[in-house]
């Protein structure tokens, strides 16, 4: 009896240790962009540019031709002519087509100097105005002009079947306006230059995009629409009508954005990407079911090279911040193809960061190696004066997140603004507005917790070998820990002591086993929580959950699986078995010593 109670006491004491499957924290100053060894590059993803660069992992260069090179007279096609566009010498189609490498394409067609000369007299059209580089453009919505552009696309991509060329990764369409970006800014605006009403412009637009999708047929995922959601230049049509980009994507095209460098502005409500503002909370919603996001063949592009270029200037103290946030914004939008220029994108300067970006591009919840949340509160000033959309805290938007959400919730998990205020990042251009980076606990009001929720397709139930990395500001003396769950028991990690160096640290905890099933604390239902156990507020910048080992999709050890089916665990892990065996051994030796 005596021995039995000793054993029972031992069991009671040792259960938390048996399941205390966590080690750490490991502390590192600054950010931590490590990528687990098992991660692979997503097939339909990568860095692209005008020119390839092996050392910068830019493997897809451009195939650029002007319409006039290909179609010198009506219904005549040639492949040996060269052209000059914006002082760039375009080699002949044949010369460029002789490459064995992958490429992306632009057919420059709207410029007076890009289109064949016969078009103007044949269609009785002339310049509608100049773009910001001084190039004049033709009205591609003129039915005669569009009819001839359509024939040219049809000839190259359907008759010659270039649409099926595996080297062709994607093509910017429709190939109109400055840099082939479907943006008339400074030319005028659609209604002034066309005299079109919304209805007649929209009728042309819908048919023209459908024409391209029809020409590409099963390869329409290679089409990349180059206009923006809520285009600035389409006149003061109401926001509900300014959804041309969303419509192009609905027809089957991909999309790209040219200005994620300005990462707060005009990029919160982007229905073409399936990203919208949650008007009840001010966080962003990401729609994984939107065909652009759910079909891994589609192209979701952006370009991040204008930090100290293209007329922008970023002070040296802010370059890392601008590069980091613009690329994090790109990932939050689900980008799989990223346009970079080695020098002006600072690829070698921030090589660890770009390595993480390169592995992250194009991942979906069930293929991602990590889940992360950037905690912040930042203005999207595009909406400041537009009343068609309203939300609490407008124009501030909270967080940038992928597969991991931090949510302010009742019961002590409300956060307040971080202490780091950023503004005027791009020289005098204040398009970025104001942002507060990081979020703080608010212990004065009884809010000592930050609650985190993983996407169930990223992880649900018990998984093995997970790291949680928390980047925090060493702001004022305090302490925090992670509250997590394993084997149905809620546990604490050891505490991280916060000091006063005013620099960022990343603390890493390794979990040999952890259970994510939305049930840490009654009422809050988080997957894990950061708890402030000190007497001053803590400031958290970035939280990342990393799967240290590959997981096989479709299996689960979660107790109850909710409606979202998908990827789950697990790799059998010897460490946890070992730790249990070790405890059994201890127990056995105790029993033996007692007998």
Ligand X SMILES: *[C@@H]1O[C@H](CO)[C@@H](O)[C@H](O)[C@H]1NC(C)=O
**Residue span 511-550 as binding mask against ligand X, x where in contact by CB under 6 A, dash where not:** -x----xxx-----------x-x--------------xx-
Is residue 560 near ligand X by the rule CB under 6 A? yes
> In whole angstroms, how close is the CB of 123 to ligand X at the nearest point?
24
> In whole angstroms, how close is the CB of 23 to ligand X at the nearest point?
4
CA pseudo-torsion sign 133, 138, 141, 146: negative
What CA–CA distance (Å, rounded) separates 348 from 200?
49
DSSP 69-100: HH-SBTTB--SS--EEETTEEEPPHHHHHT--
**Residue span 563-582 as binding mask against ligand X, x where in contact by CB under 6 A, dash where not:** --------xxxxx-------
Q: Which residues partner with 154 through β-bridges?
A: none
Selected from 139, 412, 433, 534, the binder of ligand X by CB under 6 A is 412
Asked whether the beta carbons of 181 and 258 are under 8 A apart, the reply is: yes
Is residue 272 near ligand X by the rule CB under 6 A? no
Say which residues have a Cβ less than 8 Å from residue 79's Cβ, sequence separation at least 6. 70, 92, 93, 94, 97
Of 327 and 422, CB closest to ligand X: 422
Is residue 69 near ligand X by the rule CB under 6 A? no
Asked whether the beta carbons of 499 and 474 are under 8 A apart, the reply is: yes
Q: Note every long-range contact of 95-98, with CB atoms under 8 Å and residues 24 or more positions apart, other chains counting.
A: 96/63, 96/64, 96/65, 97/63
Question: Between residue 312 and residue 331, which ones bind ligand X under the rule CB under 6 A?
Answer: none
Selected from 5, 54, 55, 236, the binder of ligand X by CB under 6 A is 236
HEC readout, 531-549: EECCCCCCEEEEEEEEECC
> In whole angstroms, how close is the CB of 501 to ligand X at the nearest point?
22
Cα angle 51, 354, 310 (rounded to 5 degrees) comes to: 50
Selected from 30, 218, 427, 446, the binder of ligand X by CB under 6 A is 446
**Residue span 132-171 as binding mask against ligand X, x where in contact by CB under 6 A, dash where not:** ----------------------------x-----------
Of 150 and 416, CB closest to ligand X: 416
Is residue 26 near ligand X by the rule CB under 6 A? yes
Asked whether the beta carbons of 323 and 345 are under 8 A apart, the reply is: yes
Which pair of tokens denotes residue 274?
């399936």
Selected from 7, 41, 59, 79, the binder of ligand X by CB under 6 A is 79
> In whole angstroms, how close is the CB of 139 to ligand X at the nearest point?
15
Is residue 23 near ligand X by the rule CB under 6 A? yes
Is residue 102 near ligand X by the rule CB under 6 A? no
Is residue 254 near ligand X by the rule CB under 6 A? no
What CA–CA distance (Å, rounded) separates 271 from 4?
65
Asked whether the beta carbons of 90 and 64 are under 8 A apart, the reply is: yes
**Residue span 216-235 as binding mask against ligand X, x where in contact by CB under 6 A, dash where not:** ----------------xx-x
Q: Which residues partner with 283 through β-bridges?
A: 398
Give the 3-state secondary structure of residue 227: coil
Is residue 391 near ligand X by the rule CB under 6 A? no
DSSP 278-306: -TTTSBEEE-TTSHHHH-TTS-EEEE---
Q: Which of 432, 377, 368, 379 is nearest to 402 (CA)?
A: 368
Binding range to ligand X, per CB under 6 A, among 143-151, 205-213, 284-292, 359-367 = 284-292
Q: Which residue has the tokens 């009422």?
A: 523
> In whole angstroms, how close is the CB of 293 to ligand X at the nearest point?
8
Of 78 and 589, CB closest to ligand X: 78
What are the residues binding ligand X (CB under 6 A)?
A: 23-24, 26, 79, 97, 160, 189, 191-192, 232-233, 235-236, 287, 289-290, 377, 393, 396, 410-412, 414, 416-417, 436, 442, 445-447, 465, 483, 488, 491-492, 510, 512, 517-519, 531, 533, 548-549, 559-560, 562, 571-575
């Amino acid at each position: 009896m005596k021995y039995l109670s000793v054993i029972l006491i031992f069991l009671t004491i040792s259960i938390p240790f048996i399941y205390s499957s966590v080690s750490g924290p490991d502390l590192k100053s600054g950010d931590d962009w490590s990528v687990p060894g098992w991660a692979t590059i997503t097939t339909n993803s990568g860095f692209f540019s005008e020119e390839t660069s092996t050392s910068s992992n830019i493997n897809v260069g451009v195939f650029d031709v002007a319409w006039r090179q290909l179609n010198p007279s009506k219904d005549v096609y040639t492949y040996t002519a060269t052209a000059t566009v914006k002082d760039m010498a375009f080699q002949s189609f044949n010369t460029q087509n002789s490459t064995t490498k992958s490429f992306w394409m632009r057919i420059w067609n709207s410029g007076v100097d890009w289109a064949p000369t016969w078009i103007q007299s044949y269609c009785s059209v002339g310049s509608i105005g100049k773009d910001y580089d001084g190039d004049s453009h033709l009205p591609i919505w003129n039915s005669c002009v569009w009819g001839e552009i359509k024939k040219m696309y049809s000839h190259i991509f359907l008759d010659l079947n270039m649409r099926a060329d595996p080297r062709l990764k994607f093509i910017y369409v429709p190939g109109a306006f400055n840099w082939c970006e479907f943006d008339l800014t400074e030319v005028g605006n659609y209604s002034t230059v066309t005299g079109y009403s919304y209805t007649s412009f929209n009728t042309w637009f819908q048919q023209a995009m459908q024409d391209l999708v029809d020409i590409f047929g099963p390869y329409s995922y290679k089409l990349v629409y180059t206009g923006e959601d809520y285009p600035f230049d389409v006149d003061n049509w109401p926001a509900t009508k300014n959804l041309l980009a969303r419509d192009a994507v609905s027809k089957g095209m991909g999309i790209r954005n040219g200005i994620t460098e300005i990462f707060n502005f005009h990029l919160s409500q982007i229905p073409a990407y399936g990203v919208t503002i949650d008007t009840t909370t001010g966080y962003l919603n990401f729609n994984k079911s939107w065909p652009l996001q759910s079909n891994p063949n589609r192209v979701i592009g952006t370009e991040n090279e204008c930090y100290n270029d293209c007329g922008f200037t970023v002070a040296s103290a802010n370059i890392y911040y601008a590069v980091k946030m613009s690329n994090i914004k790109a990932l939050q939008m689900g980008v799989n193809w990223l346009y970079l220029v080695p020098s002006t994108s600072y690829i070698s300067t921030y090589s660890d960061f770009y390595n993480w970006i390169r592995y992250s591009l194009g991942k979906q919840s069930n293929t991602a190696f990590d889940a992360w949340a950037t905690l912040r509160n930042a203005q999207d000033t595009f909406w400041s004066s537009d009343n068609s959309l309203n939300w609490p805290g407008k124009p501030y938007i909270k967080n940038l997140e992928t597969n991991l959400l931090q949510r302010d919730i009742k019961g002590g998990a409300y956060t307040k603004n971080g202490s780091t205020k950023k503004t005027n990042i791009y020289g005098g251009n204040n398009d970025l507005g104001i942002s507060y980076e990081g979020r703080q606990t608010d212990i004065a009001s009884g809010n000592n917790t930050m609650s985190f929720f993983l996407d169930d397709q990223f992880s649900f139930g018990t998984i093995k070998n997970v790291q949680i990395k928390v980047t925090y500001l060493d702001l004022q003396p305090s302490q925090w820990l992670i509250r997590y769950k394993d084997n149905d028991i809620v546990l604490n990690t050891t505490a991280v002591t916060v000091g006063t160096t005013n620099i960022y640290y990343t603390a890493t905890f390794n979990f040999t086993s952890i259970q994510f099933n939305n049930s840490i604390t009654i009422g809050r239902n988080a997957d894990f929580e950061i708890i402030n156990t000190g007497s001053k507020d803590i400031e958290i910048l970035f939280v990342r959950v990393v799967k240290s080992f590959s997981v096989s999709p479709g299996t689960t050890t979660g107790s109850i699986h909710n409606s979202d089916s998908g990827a789950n665990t697990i790799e059998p892990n010897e460490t946890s078995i070992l730790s249990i065996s070790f405890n059994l051994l201890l127990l056995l030796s105790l029993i033996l010593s007692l007998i």
